[in-house]
Chains A and B, each alone.
Chain A
C-alpha cells in the first residue's frame, strides 16, 4: 500500500512537468491548430541557457527569471520570423517547419554545449519533504511551481483584457478582428507564453533527467500524451491530462512486468494511440466538425 501511495505521489510530481509541457503544446495548438513538435527542444534550449547563466555566476532565481524572459522573447521571434509566413500553407508544410525547428535546436544545443550529460541544481533540495519518505522536496517543489503557474494562467485568461483577447482570437479569429483585436500578435504572444512555460518545465525536470540535448524527447512524448488526453483545446484539460499521465506512467512502471524505464517510450506510444482511437477529442476537448 505504501508503494502504491508512493508511486501516486511520484506520478503527480512527474505529471507536473508533463502538465507544463502539455500546457505549452495546447497554447500553440489553440492559436494555430498545429502541434509544435519542437516544444521539447525549445524547453531544452531554455534550460541550457539558464545553466549557462548559472555557470557565469548568477544565482538560481535570477537565472530562472532571465531565462523565462529570454524564452518568451525567443518564442515570439520564432513565430514572427519562421511561422507567421506559413499561416496559410498546407499542414504538411507546417509539420515540416516544426521538424526543421526541432532539428536546428537539437543540433545547435549539441554544438554549443556538446552532448555530455550535465548536473543541474535544484533550489528545493532533495531531502524528504516534511519528514515524509514518500516525496522529496524537489518533487514537492515541482508540484508547487506547476500549481502556481496554473493559477497565474487561470487569472490571466479569466480576468485580464489581454487574456480575454487571446481567448477570443483563438476561438474565432475573424470575430476577434472585428472587435479590434490584433489576432496576429495574439498568436505571437501565445508562442511566447508557450516558450516560457516550456522553459519552466525544462528547468524543473533537468535535475531529474540531467541536462543534455536529448533530455526532453521522452518528456515531450508524455507531454503530447497529456495534451491529447486533455483534449488539445483545453488548458485545464492539459494539466489534468499531465497529472493522469504521470500517475499512469509510474503505476505501469511498478506493476506491469518488463515495464520500468525500459518501456517508457513504448508505453507513451500505446497511450497516445489508445487515447486517439478511443476518445479523439480527449477528456475536455471540443469536437471539431469538418466540412467539405
Chain B
C-alpha cells in the first residue's frame, strides 16, 4: 500500500523555541491514524506544520507532492481538511454559511448541494439549525459543524485536532462513531490527534505516540492498546 502522507525529519519552531525534534511518520491511504501524547508533546504542532501554519523544516509529502513550500490555503486546496483546535467556527455566520465556506474552493454547484444534504444526514442537528448563528450552537454541535465543514471540501485527508476536547462523553462517542463511518464509507483518510487515548485507540487502525517532539512508539492501534507498559508509561490509563 502506498503512503498518502509521508513526514520525514520534521522540526518546527515557535520563535526561538523548537517544538518538534525530527519527527517521521507516514499515513496510508484510507487509514484512520491517531497521534497520541501528553500535553505539550507536539501533537498540535505536527498538524499545524503539515498545513504550514508554523515555521518548520524537514519534508512533508502528500501523494508525492511536497507541502513545505506551499501556503496554507494551497495545501487545503490539495484536499487536506484541517479541523483546528478550538474548532475555528465562524461564529457570526449561519450554520449553512459555515458549510458553504467549507466548499468555497469547489466549483461543482450540484455536488456542493448534494454534499450539504449528506452532511445534514450525518448530523441531523445541523439541519434543524441551519439558519442559526454558529456561535449559538453548543460545544458538541460546533464540533460536528467543524467536521462537516471540513468534509464539505471533499478531502482526501482530514486532520482533526482534539475533537473530544470539552465535550460530554456521550457526545464524544457519537462523534467518534460518525468519524469511523466517514472513514469507511467516504474513503476519507483521517489523522486524529487525541488526549483521550483509550477512545482514540478503539477507533483508529494505526497509532503513533509522541513525547517532547519525537515519535517514541508506533504500530497497529490494537497492539498499542494491548501493551500494558506503553499504556502505563505514555498513555496514563
Chain A residues proximal to chain B, CB less than 8 Å: 161, 164-165, 167-168, 171-172, 174-183, 286
Contact = CB atoms under 8 A, between A and B. Distances in A.
Interface of B: 51, 53, 71-73, 76-77, 81-82, 84, 88-90, 92-93, 97, 100-102, 104-105, 149, 153
B90 A171 contact: yes
Contacts of A182: 71, 73
B25 to A, nearest CB: 21
Given A176-B101, A177-B71, A182-B71, 4 more contacts: A172-B90, A174-B53, A178-B72, A178-B81
Contacts, number: 59
B90 A165 contact: no
Given A171-B92, A175-B88, A178-B88, A165 B101 contact: yes
Contacts of B77: 180
Contacts of A174: 53, 84, 88
Contacts of A180: 73, 76-77, 104-105, 153
A164 B104 contact: yes
A178 B105 CA distance: 11
A183 B101 contact: no
Contacts of A171: 90, 92-93
A178 B51 contact: yes
B101 A179 contact: yes
Nearest to B72: A177
A172 to B, nearest CB: 6
B105 A175 contact: no
Nearest to B107: A161
B84 A161 contact: no
9 contacts: A161-B100, A168-B101, A171-B93, A174-B53, A175-B89, A175-B90, A177-B53, A178-B84, A181-B105
B152 to A, nearest CB: 8
Most buried by B among A172, A175, A286: A175
Given A167-B93, A171-B92, A181 B100 contact: no
Given A172-B88, A172-B90, A179 B104 contact: yes
A164 B149 CA distance: 14
A171 B153 CA distance: 20
Contacts of A179: 76, 101-102, 104-105, 149, 153
A161 B102 CA distance: 11
Contact of A181 (B51, B84, B97, B104): B104
A177 B101 contact: no
Nearest to B106: A180
A167 B84 CA distance: 19
A212 to B, nearest CB: 41
Most buried by B among A161, A171, A179, A182: A179
Given A178-B82, A179-B149, A181-B73, A168 B105 contact: no
B100 to A, nearest CB: 6
B160 to A, nearest CB: 12
A167 B101 CA distance: 10
A129 to B, nearest CB: 39
A164 B53 contact: no
Nearest to B83: A178
Contacts of B89: 175
A267 B54 CA distance: 48
Given A171-B92, A174-B84, A175-B90, A165 B72 contact: no
A164 B77 CA distance: 17
Nearest to B87: A175
A182 B74 CA distance: 8
A286 B104 CA distance: 26
A181 B102 CA distance: 10
A142 B14 CA distance: 52
Q: List the 8 closest A-B pairs by CB distance, nearest first.
A: A175-B88, A180-B105, A180-B76, A177-B72, A180-B77, A178-B82, A177-B73, A180-B73
Nearest to B97: A164
A167 B102 CA distance: 14
A62 to B, nearest CB: 34
Nearest to A167: B93
B93 A175 contact: no
A177 B51 CA distance: 10
Contacts of B105: 179-181
B104 A165 contact: yes
A284 to B, nearest CB: 12
B84 A175 contact: yes
B227 to A, nearest CB: 35
A161 B88 contact: no
A175 B102 CA distance: 10
